[in-house]
Structure 1
Amino acid sequence: MMKSRLMVLTGLFLLTLLNCKQNTIDLGNGRSFTIEKNISYGKDKEQKMDIYVPKTFTKDKDAFIIIHGGGWRGGRRSQLTSFTYDLMKKFPEKIFINLDYRLASSKRFALPNQTDDITNAMNYVEKTLKIHPKYILLGNSAGAHLAMLYAYKFDPKKNVKAVINIVGPTNLNDPGFKNYDDYAFVEKHLIDPKIVDSKTTLMDFGSPVYWITPTSAPTLSYYGINDHVVPPSQQKNLDSTLTKNKVYHESYQFTGDHLGWDQSSNGDFLVNKIEGFMKNINP
């Protein structure tokens, strides 16, 4: 009987340890986060996210929202998990939200669903954690497009503190971007025409640069010099519009194609630049 009870207690102890390992990540040097994975923030099965909360967080801390790419109709948040960990090491005091969103298809528009999902995720985090942080929206490719569009167009309360744009489309009218092999999908299925007024074209509406004003969020951009999906002209268009509106921004390039931003030393370079950028925009 004693042996059986000991085995039960040992099993419970091991289970507790396993649960702790599943719910905590230790990044060394006192940097640790509690983890809640696969959280539903909406009724759709694709509305899922992972939340990483620092053990020492306070209610006024900023929160990163990480938004994956995939042409608006593919990709998943797990593609950016490793990069999220790299950022957590640099910013151990901030909350991180790694987001999946409702993907577009020939039967479902990307917008407004995907920008609505950013709001839905924010609302869930604020209600659950009882906080009201400022947000840093970070995305790659289509996720970067959503980050910029949300910050410049869909954030009237100015809750977005900054944007990190990694190889994101900025101007859907750009002749260089029209070479994108799925451009027909962008024209027909990116935006629900019902949300666009008669004075604005669909491609203008979906272009982040169209919505930039002098009060737009500070932006850091990162583009590949050999990118044939989102060409360097997109970076130039964004930079010139931000400059015209006197919006603080930093812009960098890496040697590589559309997928090369986190390969080799490119990812380390970006993380360090994000660290400097955040210091520059803080009071």
Structure 2
Amino acid sequence: MSSKFLQAVTLAIAALLAACSPIKVLNALTPSNTFSKTSSVAYGTDPRQKLDIYRPVTASPNAPVVVFFYGGSWNSGSKDQYGFVGEALASRGIVVVIADYRLYPQVRYPLFLQDNAKAVAWTYQHIAEYGADPGQLYLMGHSSGAYNASMLALDARWLNAVDLSPSMLKGWIGLAGPYDFLPIENKDVQPVFFFPNSPPESQPINHVSADAPPSLLIASTDDNLVNPTRNTGGLATKLRAARVPVEAFYFTKTNHVTLVASFAKPLRWLAPVLDKVTAFIRSTPTAD
């Protein structure tokens, strides 16, 4: 099979992803021989408070662990849709936890952050049983999931509430995240944050301090949903001003959706997102 044919196939997949739900396509093309999966472990009592664990087949002892939060405007999404992310990181020797959490209209801000914190607490307490090192714990999210990860990493209230602290994170990773989005223009998001009375403390950019863990921010220059200059660029600038270690990368062949889709094996040629995430995890010094 020629490289031109493969590129044509992946271009067709990328177009499909941009036009409709990517989930069935991506997961159908995801290898299954690089990981083992433990499904629907409860971290709370609500039906949405469950998580999946992806373990590398050839994991080394005390592997790093990533807790991944998916996007969906805080009103949609499922852990079952992101097997391609679990596989991608597991193929690099990383244990992955993908957590469901309550969504609007069941809850509004900040209750989904409380769920996220509980998922992190469960991971910290139990992930050694799955071959990972809780001392090498990272948070990662895409879109509204990146918001969730950033809030847990930057605003100590949420992890403090489960007897943890952002200082126990080795780092966090944001993919196309909204970190500074008031006033809210997206009508689907407005009720989640009580528009027009959205609280300023709901914005990650307002919680940057020198105590923040190391950060990796990745965005697409062609993102029509979340402005990369204001959000990724603005947060990176503020983190640097606080002398927090931060790396920021912008890719031109991806958009808001295909940025995370590039974790899937057929689409990794779009941008080296998986490589950047893996390098960040392998090189980040332990946060104090």
Tell me if both proteins adopt one fold, taking TM over 0.5 as the criterion.
Answer: yes
Unaligned runs of 5+ in 2: 1-31
| Length-normalised TM-score, structure 2 | 0.73
Aligned to 2:275: 272
Q: Kindly tell me the number of residue pairs found equivalent between the two proteins.
A: 236
Equivalent of 1:258 in 249, 256, 259: 256
Larger Rg: 1
CA contact (8 A) 1:135 1:161 kept: yes
**More divergent stretch after superposition (33-42 vs 221-230):** 33-42
- Deviation of 1:53 after TM superposition, in Å, equals 3.5
CA contact (8 A) 2:65 2:96 kept: yes
Aligned to 2:10: none
- Give the distance between the partners of 2:273 and 2:39, measured in 1 at CA: 26
SS at match of 1:148: helix
| Length-normalised TM-score, structure 1 | 0.74
CA contact (8 A) 1:260 1:266 kept: no
**More divergent stretch after superposition (47-56 vs 133-142):** 47-56
Please show how residues 62-211 of structure 1 align to structure 2 within 5 Å. 62-90=64-92, 92=93, 94-105=94-105, 108-111=107-110, 113-129=111-127, 132-153=134-155, 154-156=158-160, 157=165, 158-173=167-182, 178-188=184-194, 202-211=198-207
Q: Which has the higher contact order (CA 8 A, sep 6+)?
A: 2
Unaligned runs of 5+ in 1: 1-24, 28-32, 191-200
CA contact (8 A) 2:41 2:50 kept: yes
CA contact (8 A) 2:79 2:98 kept: yes
CA contact (8 A) 2:135 2:170 kept: no
1:218 aligns with 2:214: yes
SS at match of 2:239: helix
CA contact (8 A) 1:61 1:133 kept: no
- Residue identity over aligned pairs, in percent, reads 22
**More divergent stretch after superposition (250-259 vs 213-222):** 250-259
CA contact (8 A) 2:178 2:231 kept: yes
Cα distance change, pair 259–181 in 1 and its aligned pair in 2 (3 A): farther
1:52 aligns with 2:54: yes
Cα distance change, pair 268–26 in 1 and its aligned pair in 2 (3 A): farther
SS at match of 1:259: helix
- Give the distance between the partners of 1:68 and 1:248, measured in 2 at CA: 24
- Deviation of 1:54 after TM superposition, in Å, equals 4.6
Cα shift readout 1:157-215 (whole Å, capped 9, x = no counterpart) = 22221111011101122x6xx4434342244179xxxxxxxxxx844211111111111
SS at match of 2:154: helix
Aligned to 1:22: none
